Amino acid sequence: MNGRRPSVTQLNAPPSPSLTVARKLMKTQYELTNNQRQYFGLSLVTDSWNKIQLSDTIFVYYQNDEIVKILNYSFGYCEYDTNIETNQRESLIYKRIKGKEQKLTVAKLLKIKGSGISFSGSFEGGGIHIYDNRRNLFFIKGFVEDGEIKSYDDIEKWIANYIAKVPPNYFEWLDKELLQKRLRIKVKEGDIIAFKISQKQYGFARVILDVFSQRQNINNVTTDLYWFHPRSLIVAIYGYYADTVKVDLDKLVIKGTLPTICIFDLDVYRGEMPIIGHRPLSTKEKLISLPNNRSTSITIPYTKSDIENFIATNEVENS
116 and 156 housed in the same domain? yes
Does residue 258 lie in a domain region? yes
165 and 36 housed in the same domain? yes
Which of 139, 154, 178 marks a domain boundary? 178
197 and 297 housed in the same domain? yes
70 and 207 housed in the same domain? no
Give the pLDDT confidence score for residue 24 in this predicted structure: 47
List pLDDT tens digits, range 222-233.
666 667 777 789
Which of 178, 206, 222 marks a domain boundary? 178
Which of 178, 213, 245 marks a domain boundary? 178
158 and 307 housed in the same domain? no
127 and 164 housed in the same domain? yes
The whole domain housing 123 covers 17-178
Does residue 50 lie in a domain region? yes
161 and 236 housed in the same domain? no
174 and 196 housed in the same domain? no
128 and 206 housed in the same domain? no
pTM as predicted: 0.76
205 and 156 housed in the same domain? no
Write out the chain in H/E/C secondary structure: CCCCCCCECCCCCCCCHHHHHHHHHHCCCCCCCHHHHCCCCCCCCCCCCEEEECCCCEEEEEECCEEEEEEECCCEEEEEEEEEEEECCCEEECCCCCCCCEECCHHHHHCCCCCCEEEEEECCCCEEEEEECCCCEEEEECCHHHCCCCCHHHHHHHHHHHHHCCCCCHHHHHHHHHHCCCCCCCCCCCEEEEEEEECCEEEEEEEEEEHHHHHHCCCCCCHHHHHCCCCEEEEEEEEEEECCCCCCHHHHCCCCECCCEEEECHHHHCCCCCEEEECCCCHHHHCCCCCCCCCCECCCCCCHHHHHHHHHHCCCCCC
Q: How many domains does the chain have?
A: 2
Query: Which residues of the chain have a pLDDT value below 70?
Result: 1-28, 94-99, 215-226, 315-319
Does residue 244 lie in a domain region? yes
